[in-house]
Amino acid sequence: MPNPDGPCYTDGVRALVPDRVGSTIGGRYAITAELGRGGTATVYEATDLRLGHTVAVKILHSRHPTAHRRMEREARVAAGLGHPNVCLVTDFGHLDDRTPYLVMELLVGRSLGDLLRHVGPLDVDFVLDVAKQVLSVLHVAHDRGVIHRDIKPDNIFLAEVVGRPPLVKVLDFGIATADCEEGLTTKGKIVGTPAYMSPEQVMGERDIDGRTDIYSCGVVLYECLTGRPPYVAESRSELMDAIIRGGATPILDLRPDLPPAVAYAIDRAMRVEREPRFPTALDMIDALEGRVEIPFATWEAETERLNRLEDVIRATPPRGTLDGVVSEAEIRFEDRTQRYVPSARGRRR
């Protein structure tokens, strides 16, 4: 279930708030257990006395008007998107002391961040499936003028579904911004998680758009596939400076086995300037699936990568010899369109 601070909760952050287990919220939600407590909120498991099912209740620690408005917006945005990959919000209200709370579906599973911390670099096909679900949510949100602004592994939840692969849930729309909303963010104020911020977020620009979420998606994919974020620094200021400068280690240097389309999509999503990035989330999905032509510079780099990979494969053949087998390093080029077309892998001559 999502952690209380927009799931970047750690056990070291313990706020002095009342223990509400055993109480009833809003005359309807009987609190049965605490699921997680962070610096800004606590999430509880509860029983909906009216419908008889189990839900999650998120209660803020603060009654500050800004915190109240953020939670109310989180409830409104999540409910308004109506997307299967968004955690369903079913109710919003206030305790007797005016502390706000919201009621959500109870998710069973783990966050992508937790998976990364325990497993490390992930399978390409799995990562692409997660990415396309996240980008689907972002497409709908951006189309309605809503920018998430805090896409990161801990805000991507992998909900267990019986007999099916995990269903992705994008969490924490609490700091999302909408074109029509003013007053909750100010110029020069940085909102988000530094390691996954776009350069324009780091610089505190206010006129951000959907491309800032696309940048963050590129960072998440980079980390999922390599096991490390693109920029690592000893201090927050050094990290932000590195993000603004750019120049992360090319992902193909760390994962030479990646399909070129995936490497290109991640590289383009993480461009320092906004203009070269994908204009929409659907465009990034198309690129990840190989439906976008790769520029010549990338094509040339891909040729070099495949040559290196071929050398490795032939030097250390698994289970005997590669004689008579077309390796994954072999590709064919169509005309002079600078577009690659992967040939069948493992096909016998």
Positions annotated as catalytic residues are: 150
Cα angle 148, 260, 342; round to 5: 130
Spatial separation of the C-alpha atoms in residues 5 and 174, rounded to whole Å: 10
| Amino acid in position 15 | A
d(CA 26, CA 55): 14
For the residues of 24-93, what is the DSSP string, one character each?
EETTTEEEEEEEEE-SSEEEEEEEETTT--EEEEEEES---HHHHHHHHHHHHHHHHH--TTB--EEEEE
How far, in Å, CA of 79 to CA of 241, rounded? 36
The first and second tokens of residue 37, run together, are 């407590």
CA 104, chain centre distance (Å): 20
* Helix residue spans in the chain (DSSP H): 65-81, 112-119, 124-143, 199-202, 211-226, 236-245, 251-254, 260-269, 281-288, 296-315
**Using an 8 Å Cβ cutoff, are 148 and 170 in contact?**
yes
Residues 126, 20: contact at Cβ < 8 Å? no
Q: What is the number of other CB atoms lying within 10 angstroms of the CB of residue 96?
A: 6
**Is residue 188 within 8 Å of residue 201, measured between CB atoms?**
no
Query: Would the CA dihedral through 128, 131, 137, 143 be positive or negative?
Result: negative
Q: Per the structure block, which two tokens stand in for 117?
A: 């911390």
